Amino acid sequence: FGLFVITATQHIPRNDQLATYTYGSSAAEEFWQHEYLGKWAAWNTARALFAALSAGLCILSLMSMSKESRKST
């Protein structure tokens, strides 16, 4: 869930704003360096951490279900 929230609230609006600049222009370079890249990288790191947490919880859930099914047989 965190992945989708970050993508929808942080990445997509930032990407849309970047798309309004002319490629190679000084304004685009200024936006890229001072507004886009650092914030995008920080939110992408958070998104990766949420993905890892989600995968870990999924694995724990599957392991728990496997243990329960062995107990009942």
Task: Supply the pLDDT for residue 13.
Answer: 96
Kindly tell me if the per-residue pLDDT of 73 is higher than 70: no
Assess contact for 40 and 11: CB atoms under 8 A: yes
Task: Supply the pLDDT for residue 54.
Answer: 92
Which residue type is seen at 54?
Answer: S
pLDDT (tens digit per residue) in 26-42: 999 999 999 999 999 99
Task: Supply the pLDDT for residue 72.
Answer: 67
Task: Supply the pLDDT for residue 67.
Answer: 81
Q: What is the mean pLDDT of residues 47-68?
A: 92
